[in-house]
Structure 1
């Protein structure tokens, strides 16, 4: 009896050692699994964000070490009763100890990898979290906008701006889904941003759609009022052109001779366009009406310019005839300012000759109006050229001082 009890006691002590060893082995394995999974997620984020990164190759070696240790653990932990029946306690403890050693080595490899790449892993984790947040926000936004589209008046959905925005939204959704499916996290983040832009555009056009009809009507009415005013003003071109020809040399107005028929043509085109815009409005196509009205406005602006330039030319030449020295005095004052600047900056040697030449140039221009029928238009334009030259020269002088 004593010997059987002694043998049973020795066996019990061995089983306790094996149980403790197995418990320690399992604890190490669970720690390894948790850490390996967390690091693997972080590494995959790095790869998805930066496909050219070499981190994946470094991680593969560490991961293989973990796999080998896991295999040893599974073998040592498989069916404890069978292991006890088929091997000695010493052999069982040895197998568990070998597995423990491999697990400890794998944990050490994980620790070294994590410490060496901590900054990159941390940065990528933050970046990946931000990308996923943007994707989630865009996805939520899509659901909200889809509900808005479903509750929108079908007439508004036929507007060009709304239809285009909805089409762009669908395309942006497809791109995000494709990039996400392929695991391209960085590209998915960009796609989420584009999707947000598309969502914003849809919200804007849906909010504006109810106002389009009123906007189109107002635009057409305003343009027609402007057209009517120009129809009356176009008749002023001919008498003003006649006055130019009577009072000044023909060269002063030869570029204006065709203004009246050109203005009439521009008004006629605008009138046809506004009729088309009114038709689009009546058919419930306010955005088309707005586009056509905008084109009509461009033709009205051309007509107005043709009318105004004739009036402005006559006014300019009469002012010059009444006081030709006013523009001359203005340009000479500009020249004196430039000369004072050169003196104050001590750059006389570099720029005095250039500026003095402008004095002679102004004198020659002024001498031209001494004739019985002077060309005031040429006089004014030549003085304008001098003024522009002086402006450019002063800018160069200041730039040379600044660069020096």
Structure 2
């Protein structure tokens, strides 16, 4: 039996309906005289077509008085049938639309949805009014009464026609309202269509995470933190199983997506855990080897400092005096952190082990830079002491390159570019002059030439940026 057939059966049943909050059903709780007959005639048109002509032809038991009276009776009956059909169409449309409203309210609590519900309730009151007038018109006139006067039949026809027109008018309002409901209904139906797949995906994600965790534990890894995270999703699964009827569609969708996301993360970490353990083991070995190598290199810093002290002024090596002590301390700290990292790895505290290894790496990087700085300082000082002109030429080339770019396409340079370049030229000249004397400060000279090249590079970058923006 289709939904419409069930509605017709419910409408024509002799059992009373339970009043609904709004709509025609609240009116239909009263059974008008002739109402059941009208619906029966509407739902069985063929039977009515066969019975009525026979009755008018004299085949029935009714006594007939005059052709005009019977003509008016027939017209009144036709008006009654038309009104019954209009009433049924309006009732069916309201029933269908109520299902749409319930779909929207189950999903959407936006102002637009609340306004749609309010408008539907207002339409329901107008439907009640129109249905009440129809029922009153039906109750007021017994068209099957013997000796029905023509004037009474004409009056009945007028009232029933007016009731039908009012029902049709309200039906038109209901149709226009239904058309405007399309976007909200589409959105709600889309969310409802997403609900079941989303909940199923969440369940499958939890199952996959649990299976991945079992596999990891089978390999000898405990993964206690992942197990705790997975256990925390248990209450969420319970709420998903309770359904959207209890927790609401939007909340259930959001919960399903969150559970899927978090369970997926647990699964991914569980699947990667063996690889992560192997990676930590490799880093432990690698950093131990590096710490040992740095211990050896740190022992070579002192001879380098001795040569720097012997051949160059104090300004060239003073900042390196504490490198040996700092290097030894950093290596000692790194070795302690390596022991802590090993203990964390043995306890399978993976985040702690990873954090400690990062600390070890930072300590060793700092030590490596300090130890390398001493040897690099000696190499650069030896080179400039032997031939400072190479450093001077390198710096002048950078300045000339920047000056050519500043003059490209111009008769005079932009002061914003010319001024820093002129200052850089003067700074270079002062640095060259500082080499004169018995004990020149070669380190000061090197830092000055490096600063001059940096100033030239900034001007070049500024010019190119301005021209690129102008293009």
Q: State the alpha-carbon separation in 2 of the partners of residues 171 and 295 from structure 1.
A: 38
Q: Equivalent residue for 2:200?
A: 140
The aligned runs of 1:359-378 (5 Å cut-off) are 359-378=425-444
**TM-aligned CA deviation for residue 83 of structure 1:** 8.9
Match of 1:277 among 325, 337, 341: 341
Match of 1:332 among 372, 382, 396: 396
Q: Label 1:145 to 1:2 Cα distance change in 2 as closer, same or farther (>3 A).
A: closer
The aligned runs of 1:35-50 (5 Å cut-off) are 35=97, 37-38=99-100, 41=103, 48=109
Residue 150 (1) aligns with residue 210 (2): yes
Residue 261 (1) aligns with residue 319 (2): no
TM-score (norm 2): 0.68
What do the CA deviations read for 1:1-54 (whole angstroms, capped 9, x no partner)?
Answer: 999543499699566764554234212321233245436745876x53xx355x
Q: Would you say the 8 A contact 1:237–1:260 is kept in 2?
A: yes
Q: State the alpha-carbon separation in 2 of the partners of residues 2 and 289 from structure 1.
A: 103
Q: Equivalent residue for 1:227?
A: 291
Higher helix share: 1
Q: State the alpha-carbon separation in 2 of the partners of residues 190 and 346 from structure 1.
A: 63
Q: State the alpha-carbon separation in 2 of the partners of residues 60 and 317 from structure 1.
A: 87
Q: State the alpha-carbon separation in 2 of the partners of residues 175 and 307 from structure 1.
A: 61
Q: State the alpha-carbon separation in 2 of the partners of residues 111 and 75 from structure 1.
A: 20
Matched position secondary structure for 1:255:
helix
Q: State the alpha-carbon separation in 2 of the partners of residues 231 and 203 from structure 1.
A: 42
Q: State the alpha-carbon separation in 1 of the partners of residues 169 and 327 from structure 2.
A: 91
More displaced, 99-108 or 224-233?
99-108
Q: Label 1:35 to 1:284 Cα distance change in 2 as closer, same or farther (>3 A).
A: closer
Q: Would you say the 8 A contact 1:66–1:106 is kept in 2?
A: no
Q: Would you say the 8 A contact 1:22–1:77 is kept in 2?
A: no
More displaced, 239-248 or 211-220?
211-220
Q: State the alpha-carbon separation in 2 of the partners of residues 279 and 359 from structure 1.
A: 59
Q: Would you say the 8 A contact 2:104–2:185 is kept in 1?
A: yes
Aligned length: 393
Query: Which runs of no fewer than 5 residues in structure 1 stay unpaired?
Result: none
Q: Label 1:273 to 1:100 Cα distance change in 2 as closer, same or farther (>3 A).
A: farther
Q: State the alpha-carbon separation in 1 of the partners of residues 105 and 260 from structure 2.
A: 28
Please, what is the CA RMSD of the aligned residues? Answer: 4.3
Q: State the alpha-carbon separation in 2 of the partners of residues 345 and 173 from structure 1.
A: 72
Q: State the alpha-carbon separation in 1 of the partners of residues 174 and 167 from structure 2.
A: 10
Q: Equivalent residue for 1:60?
A: 118
Q: Label 1:29 to 1:379 Cα distance change in 2 as closer, same or farther (>3 A).
A: same
What do the CA deviations read for 1:236-264 (whole angstroms, capped 9, x no partner)?
Answer: 11111112111211111111111111111
Q: State the alpha-carbon separation in 1 of the partners of residues 237 and 432 from structure 2.
A: 70
Decide which structure has the larger Cα Rg and report it: 2
Q: State the alpha-carbon separation in 1 of the partners of residues 197 and 391 from structure 2.
A: 64
Query: Which runs of no fewer than 5 residues in structure 2 stay unpaired?
Result: 1-57
Matched position secondary structure for 2:440:
coil
**TM-aligned CA deviation for residue 205 of structure 1:** 0.7
**TM-aligned CA deviation for residue 344 of structure 1:** 1.4
